[in-house]
Structure formats: structure tokens, C-alpha cells
Chains A and B, each alone.
Chain A
Amino acid sequence: MSMRARLFGILIAATGLLWLSATAWVYFSTEAQVERVLDARLREAARMVSSLIDSQEIGTAVASLDAAPLPDPQDATYERQLSCQIWSLSGDLVGKSASAPTERLSDHTEGFAERTIDGETWRVYAVQNEERGVQVLVGDNLDIRSRLVNDVVKGLAIPMALILPALAVILWIGVGRGLQPLSSLASTLRRRDADDLRPFPDSGPKTAAEIRPLIESLNELFNRLEDMRGHERQFLAYAAHELKTPLSGLKTQAEIALKSDKQSVRSTALSNILTGVTRTTRLVRQLLAMAEAEAATADTHQVRLSQVVQEAVAGHTTGADDPEIRLHIDPDLDDIDIATNETLLVLALRNLIENAQNHSPPGGSVEIRWTGAGIAVEDEGPGMSDEEIDRATDPFFRGSNRTPIGSGLGLAIVDVCARKLGGRLVLSRRAPAGLCAEIRFLSETQ
């Protein structure tokens, strides 16, 4: 449902409701007023007739007794609204007005009463004139009374009903005009290319205050998307380079092995191919690990850290299991249970341990310990400069101390895992040499 139709509906319903209640109010208040005024008139008329009898200006006998046909109330004008009867106290009809029925309007002696005669309701005021021995009854036909009220209300309601369509048109156009900034924003968006992530130009104070936050957050979203797409493009470019380069190397080496007539060249090329395949295999594995880390859902279970470390150590497959490099696993890890995602943590630790082993000097040792806020892997290798630490988690970034087996993806994978685990990767230099890589869990869990 469009916003315009919705606003229009609300406005029309509200206006209609207001009008209906106003009409009802007018109806009831008019009815009450009319009743009061007409009752007063009834009383006055009855007293007037009674006083005329007193002054003998109307002889009781003179009063016409002709029973004129009762006028149809539908045709009756307001002029002949009142009916008057004069009865002797003995119960004879002494006289009546032309519009009055011949039947007695009321049986009561004094004051107001209502009575139905021949299906018509009469409001009757009675005055007893003891001196003259007559009773004066003045009646109002209630149908006529209600017609009066209806006519007043109709006089109000008909113009209102006629105005309503005009009002609807005005509302529809007005709402449309009011929503103009929104619809122009929408049409700008519709016209855009799906690839167009440029921010909306800020049209300054002309932008409606209600639209401005929308434009601002859209622009933020565009920027974020643009950044993300930039990263993805860069990642793809790097991945293409990193994959196609060794493939190209393999192909070249294979061509050399096929074409060279020197045995030594052939065997060098073949052994280069072997090395290349190992390296490329690891690169592919790391790319898959990266995709796995990014796609993993971070559901958590309670795990014992020492078990996670064991699994990480057991799983690695590079040439890193150099027996000369000692692996120290902090025994405290045996007592620490944390709620985490085991797959992601194992993947992250495996990469950190591989990195540490690959960069360790012969005979060096790698320490895996609990820091109180996270789990750290420390080596005695050459470490990294501050500049390298800043860029270390960029995919395919390889610092100055590159190993032949390195893909530049290890720390990027760890970084993705750590963020998925709700923590982060903290890299720092160790004194006198080495690197400390810590997966720090932001919310302490133990």
C-alpha cells in the first residue's frame, strides 16, 4: 500500500469521523433545544387559550366542532403544527382547532404528557380552567417536531456530503505534494544503476528534515557497500594473482622439462614442479579455509582449551612439524573451559601455530598460553615491524620475512575467525625477538 494512499485513507477517515460526530452533536443539541422551545410554546399556547376563555373572547360554544379531516403529517407545514382541544369538565368536546383529532388528546388534567392516537404521537400540555369548567389541551405532533430537527441536520449534512469529494481531491493532491521529496528520492533511486554506489549529493537546507536522516543513512550504506566491494575486488585481484602466478610457473617449468635436452635442467624443472604443487596446494587450502571462516556460523559450545590446542597442533599439514622447534603448551589450558566455536578457534590456532613454527629459528620454541583475556601463540622468530603489524591481516600481505610456503592468508584467516568469535587478533613484538599473536576474547569467559 502506498504511503500516499495510506495517508489519504487516514485523513479521509479522520475527517469523516469528525464530521459524523459533529453532525450527531448538532442533531442531539438541536433536538433538545427544539423540544425546550416547543414545550415552552405549547405551555404558552395552552395558557393563552385558557386566558382567552377567561376573558370570554371566545365563547366556548362558538368553537367549531367540525371535524375537519386530519391533515397528513407529511404534508403538514410547520404553520399548522399546533392542535388545540377544549373539553368541558364533564367530558364533552367543546371546541378544537382544525388540525386537532376528535379523540381526546390526553386524559391527564395538568402539565405535559405524551399519547399516541392513530399511530401518531402527540405531546400535549393540559390546563384546567375551573372557573369556566373547561380543560384546554394543546398538542404538538411529534412527527412534525422530529421533521424539524431532521431538516436542520439535513441542512448541515447535505453541503458537507457534497464537499467531501472535493475535500478528497484536495487531500489526495496535498498528500502527494507533501510526499514529493520522498517520491523524488525514490525515483532517483529507481533510475540508478545497480552498480552505482555514489552517495547522494547533499542538497543542503533544501532537503526536508525528515528525509535528511534517510539520505544520510543511505549514503553511509552506499559507502560501506563501496568499501566492501572494493575489498572484494581487491581480494579477487590478489587471489587471481596468487593462484595464476604459481600455475603459470608450473606450466613454464613443465614446458622446460618437456623441451630441454639437458638432463640436469629437466630434473631441476621437475623438482621445481613438485615444490610448486606443494605450495599451490597450501594456497588453495588457505583460500578454502578463508572461505570456511567467512561462511562459518559462530554457534558456541563449552570447550576445554587444551583440547582445542591439541586439535590445532594435530591438524596442521605444512612442513612445519620440524622436530627441532619445541612446542610449549601452557598446562593451565587444561583447566580452562570457554564457550566458543570450536571449528573457528581450531582454524585460527592452527594458522597461528603454523606461522610461529615457520618463522621460528632452528631450535627455537613456540609457546601457547592463556593470557587471562585470550589465548596467545608466541615465537622467537624475527617478529614484525609496526608497519607490518598494521597490514598483517590484509589478505595476501606478506611481510619482509616471507617464508617460501607462506600464502599471506594465515593472519587474515585468524583475523576473520577472531572477529567471528567476538574477539580480535592482537599482534605485538616480544623482547628480545619474536612475535606474540593473541586471540583476545572481548567478553571474559572462564
Chain B
Amino acid sequence: MRILIVEDDELLGDGLKVGLEMNGFTADLATSVAEGDAALRAGGFAAIALDIMLPDGSGQELLRDMRRRGDATPVLMLTALDSVRDRIEGLDGGADDYLGKPFDLEELGARLRALIRRANGRQKMLLEFGGVTLDPSRMEAGRDGEMLRLSRREFTILNALMEHPGAILSRGQLEDQLYGFQEGVESNAVEVHIHHLRAKFGNRFIETVRGVGYRLRESS
């Protein structure tokens, strides 16, 4: 679950990135409208945490622009202006959710997960496929009620696969989920984490489609 954070404050931006990663997200940080716009055009984000007051303009403009382009990525507004009127303006301006500063990191994570779940048309909190259950809020997964805590990278890969059951995800697509723009990609990281996941949930749960990528298999 890759998140774009658009926030100009260094302290908060860094905190959001680190904090969201602790919550199982992969986060990219943009510090201005221009940077945010560039990142959005590159695409690949499951949700956006958007500050309103940015040095080179308003987050509202960025939001309007992306909606005009037809970009429906869920947007959560982070703002100091949290009067009822501001909330209404923000939501009517195309935001999907609204969180007043200062906020709770856990709450932000939960709201982002909810936004992503709704955007993907799911109602249930837990992802299930082939007898494996994934709880994104706790980063835990398991068979038959026996839940195991996953590392962030394992969780990210399993979550990506379970969000699109049956679809083939390429190594590149999985790497995009694992790393932010600023991070260097480790060459065989995806293979290593797939290996770990197979060890936990069975070799045949994740199938390698030669030359294309990976997908989940129904029967184990």
C-alpha cells in the first residue's frame, strides 16, 4: 500500500513517512504542490495524505487538478483548519476524508486503510484467499485462525497480491509497492520475501508465472 504524503513541514513529513511505514505502508514524501503533482503523474499510489497550506500553493488546487484529470486516488486531507466549515469545504472540494492536526498516527493509518478498502470496493476488514487470512490493521496473516506477525516487506507483498487475487503482479510492480521513490531497490528483495511467505503459508500458495511475475493460487 503505497501512500503519497504531501507535507512541507520537515518534522511532520519525516514523522509521517516513518510512522506510516511502521504501520505497513510504503510512503513517499513530497514537500510542495509541484513535487506532489510530479509524483501523482508518475502514479502508483493507493492513497494520498495531503496538507492544504503548501509553500507554492494550496493542496486544494492539487486535489482539483488531479480530479480534473480523472485521478480518483483516495485523498485524506491533513490540515490545521478543522472547523466544520473547513471540513465541508475540503470534502466538497474532492477530498475523501479529513483529519485535523495534530492527529493520531494510528488513526491516520486506520483511515488510510479504510479509504483504500473502499476504493477497492471491499467491505470486509480482512482479506481472505485460499484459506489464508490477512489483517492489514495488525499486519498479521495466517491459516485457520493462527495469526503470524509479518515484517513490513512481507506484509506489503502479501497485501498487494491479496488485493488483486488471481492477478499476476510483476516483480517491478511489487518493487514499486516496497520502495518509495527515494529508496534504492535491493536486487533480489522480492524473491527473498516471497520465499519467506512461502515458508509461512505453503509453497504452492504463491505461484511463480515464469517471465511474468507472481500470483496466488486457490487450492493449496
Range class of the B interface residue count: 20 to 34
- A109 on the B face (CB < 8 A): no
User: Could you say which residues of chain A place their CB within 8 Å of the CB of B38?
Assistant: none
User: Could you say which residues of chain B place their CB within 8 Å of the CB of A115?
Assistant: none
A245 to chain B minimum Cβ distance, whole angstroms, is 5
Partner pick for B12 among A243, A249, A268, CB 8 A cutoff: A249
Range class of the A interface residue count: 20 to 34
Q: Tell me the bound Cα distance from A398 to B31 in angstroms.
A: 14
A258 to chain B minimum Cβ distance, whole angstroms, is 10
* Interchain pairs with CB closer than 8 A, number: 84
* Contact in complex: B102, A244 (CB < 8 Å): yes
Q: Is the interface of B mostly helix, strand, loop or mixed?
A: mixed
- A78 on the B face (CB < 8 A): no
- B97 on the A face (CB < 8 A): no
Q: Tell me the bound Cα distance from A386 to B154 in angstroms.
A: 52
Instruction: Give the residues from 100 to 122 in chain B that come closer than 8 angstroms, CB to CB, to chain A.
Output: 100-106
* Contact in complex: B81, A237 (CB < 8 Å): yes
B47 to chain A minimum Cβ distance, whole angstroms, is 17
Of the listed residues B51, B78, B79, B101, the one surrounded by the most CB atoms of chain A closer than 10 A to its CB is: B101
Instruction: Give the residues from 1 to 46 in chain B that come closer than 8 angstroms, CB to CB, to chain A.
Output: 7, 9-16, 18-19, 22
Instruction: Give the residues from 239 to 268 in chain A that come closer than 8 angstroms, CB to CB, to chain B.
Output: 240-253, 255-256, 259-260, 265, 268
* Contact in complex: B80, A245 (CB < 8 Å): yes
* Contact in complex: A256, B102 (CB < 8 Å): no
Q: Is the interface of A mostly helix, strand, loop or mixed?
A: helix
- B168 on the A face (CB < 8 A): no
B207 to chain A minimum Cβ distance, whole angstroms, is 33
Q: Tell me the bound Cα distance from A402 to B8 in angstroms.
A: 12
- A238 on the B face (CB < 8 A): yes
* Contact in complex: A251, B102 (CB < 8 Å): yes
Given known pairs A240-B81, A272-B11, A404-B10, the reply for A248 and B103 (CB within 8 Å) is: yes
* Contact in complex: A253, B15 (CB < 8 Å): yes
- A279 on the B face (CB < 8 A): yes
Partner pick for A241 among B13, B15, B18, B79, CB 8 A cutoff: B79
- A73 on the B face (CB < 8 A): no
* Contact in complex: A249, B15 (CB < 8 Å): yes
Instruction: Give the residues from 263 to 316 in chain A that come closer than 8 angstroms, CB to CB, to chain B.
Output: 265, 268-269, 272, 275-276, 279
- B127 on the A face (CB < 8 A): no
* Contact in complex: A279, B18 (CB < 8 Å): no
Partner pick for A269 among B15, B51, B52, B53, CB 8 A cutoff: B15
What 0/1 pattern do residues 53 to 86 of B give for CB contact below 8 A with A?
Answer: 1010000000000000000000000111100000
Q: Tell me the bound Cα distance from A237 to B100 in angstroms.
A: 13
Partner pick for B9 among A246, A265, A269, CB 8 A cutoff: A246
Given known pairs A256-B19, A265-B18, the reply for A248 and B81 (CB within 8 Å) is: no
Q: Tell me the bound Cα distance from A256 to B101 in angstroms.
A: 17
Q: Tell me the bound Cα distance from A380 to B103 in angstroms.
A: 41
Which residues of A are at the interface with B, using a C-beta cutoff of 8 A? 237-238, 240-253, 255-256, 259-260, 265, 268-269, 272, 275-276, 279, 398, 402, 404
13 interchain pairs (CB within 8 A)? A237-B81, A241-B79, A245-B12, A245-B101, A247-B101, A249-B11, A249-B14, A250-B11, A251-B104, A253-B11, A256-B19, A269-B18, A272-B15
